[in-house]
């Protein structure tokens, strides 16, 4: 069973380290105090955009919110610093129940992000968003069919197909089909 990262506790810890009140962090992040409270208590996982705003105010990265500092200490005796076992993957939670991600790397502190993405049938979105400035994104389809929209151009990818593009191009990835789809996503620099 994948281990879920407790982003809310990490936000609360970083906020307290900076001696900020919840009200201050919420105001500077342009979110409500109620939303921040739900995030910190684990009642919601929040959108990626909300988490990016919070990370910016806390002077950290989105990647840092998704890591457990104890697990990131590199030492050759610590297998988990190098190896991700299939039953110990960390999940990245999103409010969208038709979209889930599992980290295939030990943490998000390196130069590359490697993620297994699962899209349930009929996972469709109207939102075209860029991830990062510069770098590359590659997506390799493991099963099902995904539709990748880059700006206004759609690409239909089936099992075994791969796409590479600049992640700052506004894009979206959907599963318009009737069956589960999954793909491996490689992004550099890290976008989470």
Query: In this predicted model, what pLDDT tens digit does every residue of 134-174 receive, in sequence order?
Result: 789 999 999 999 999 999 999 999 999 999 999 889 999 99
Q: Which of 128, 161, 167 is nearest to 144 (CA)?
A: 161
Coil, helix or strand for 86?
Answer: helix
- Give the tens place of pLDDT for each residue, 12-64: 999 999 999 999 999 999 999 999 998 888 887 777 778 878 988 888 877 67
Question: 1 CB contacts (<8 Å, ≥6 apart)?
Answer: 87
Q: Are 173 and 129 in contact (CB under 8 A)?
A: no
Half-sphere exposure of 21 (CA within 13 A, CB side): 6
How far is the C-alpha of 175 from the C-alpha of 99, rounded, in Å?
Answer: 10
Domains of the chain listed by start with CATH number:
3-69 (1.10.260.40), 111-188 (2.60.120.10)
Q: What is the DSSP string of 48-62?
A: HHHHHHHHHHTTS-H
Average pLDDT over every residue of 105-114: 83
Rounded average pLDDT over 76-96: 81
Q: Where do we find the tokens 């990370």?
A: 55
For residue 185, pLDDT over 70 is answered with: yes
What is the four-CA torsion angle of 33, 35, 36, 40, rounded to 10 degrees? 140
Check residue 184 and give its pLDDT: 97
Interatomic CA distance for residues 180 and 22, integer angstroms: 39
């Amino acid at each position: 069973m994948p281990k879920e990262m407790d982003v809310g506790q990490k936000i609360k810890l970083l906020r307290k380290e900076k001696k900020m009140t919840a009200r201050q962090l919420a105001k500077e992040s342009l979110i409500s105090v109620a939303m921040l409270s739900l995030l910190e208590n684990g009642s919601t996982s929040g959108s990626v955009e909300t988490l990016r705003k919070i990370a910016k105010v806390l002077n950290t990265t989105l990647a840092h919110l998704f890591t457990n500092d104890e697990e990131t200490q590199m030492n050759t005796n610590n297998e988990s610093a190098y190896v991700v076992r299939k039953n110990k993957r960390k999940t990245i939670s999103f409010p969208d129940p038709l979209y889930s991600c599992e980290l295939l790397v030990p943490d998000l502190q390196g130069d590359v992000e490697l993620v297994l993405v699962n899209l349930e049938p009929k996972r469709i979105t109207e939102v075209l968003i860029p991830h990062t400035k510069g770098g590359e994104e590659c997506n390799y389809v493991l099963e099902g069919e995904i539709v990748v929209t880059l700006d206004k151009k759609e690409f239909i990818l089936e099992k075994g197909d791969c796409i590479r593009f600049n992640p700052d191009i506004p894009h979206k990835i959907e599963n318009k089909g009737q069956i589960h789809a999954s793909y491996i996503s490689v992004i550099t620099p890290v976008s989470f």
